[in-house]
Structure 1
Amino acid sequence: MRRRDITHPRLRKIHDDVHLEQIREAVEAGDPSIFGEGPTSNTIDVAVTPLLGDAGIENFRRWAKEGETSTLRANSVSIIGFLPGRRNAELVAEILETDPRVRRLCVASEVSRLMQWEWSTALAVADDPRTAPEATALAARLAKSVIDPKDSESRWCSAWVLQRLAPILGD
């Protein structure tokens, strides 16, 4: 799956296979390291998720709820969104429904990734989707993400934005 990355100016990326292994080891040991430092790239999320053991998965589930910063919680939700199963999808939905800071970051990330707009524009759209500069184009891309079977975070965020865009899209 090839997906664009978000446009955040402090985006964290994987440097090489050694760096990926260091990230995995830190997560398994309970150290969120890179996931608390700034938004993580899609490549990190996609690369780390299949390497996780039970301890790493449980750490992300805990960080998604109790992480010290909204950045750590949002990055954790992104990882959980790539994990299969209803339990993981339900956790993603629960957090996005109840944690407004995480919801804002996750929605802005989805908008940024889909449209490649500057981060400030993506945040403004997350705050009020009706302000989207190209609402029809955004809605078309969101409609594809809302059925993504491999990413429950993307599905939830896309549906959330589409619901709020509907009144301005017309017939």
Structure 2
Amino acid sequence: MTVLLGQHGEIVLNPLSAEKLTKHTFLHLPQESCGVLLGTIVAGNIQIEQFIPIRNVAPNPLHSFMFSPDEWVPHALMAKKLVGIVHSHPHSDPTPSSEDLDRLHLYAGLLKVYLICTPHPITSSLIIHAYHILRNVDNGNTRYTLHQAPLTMTQVGI
């Protein structure tokens, strides 16, 4: 028997977090950048209130990301505010790669949202895709998957 567990509400990103994420992503080009998303979950809706950059310590940061353990662990321990993670794909679409999906089980149990961003090819903005993290429990085995979801940006001052 398969049971799918996860949040399926709206994902909302505040503009200050989006701006900080954009600056961080462009600052680290051509490498992948990464960070955590802090926020709240109310009635199934996920409010992303803060983006916090984390250093990418992957052996090949041009094509993958790995959180600096010194920076990741404190956020993982305060899971109450931790709602998701984000990383960039500097040279490809903001869709999960096979490596992203293979490594999802390493931290998905703590998270609800997974964002992937790509620099726009012409402007200095980001293309951001949002995904709900779903937990599939089948005969005692847990497997995590990503389900694309709409991302809404709140207005400044709201």
The normalised TM-score by structure 2 is 0.30
Higher helix share: 1
The higher relative CO (CA closer than 8 Å, separation ≥ 6) is in 2
Higher strand share: 2
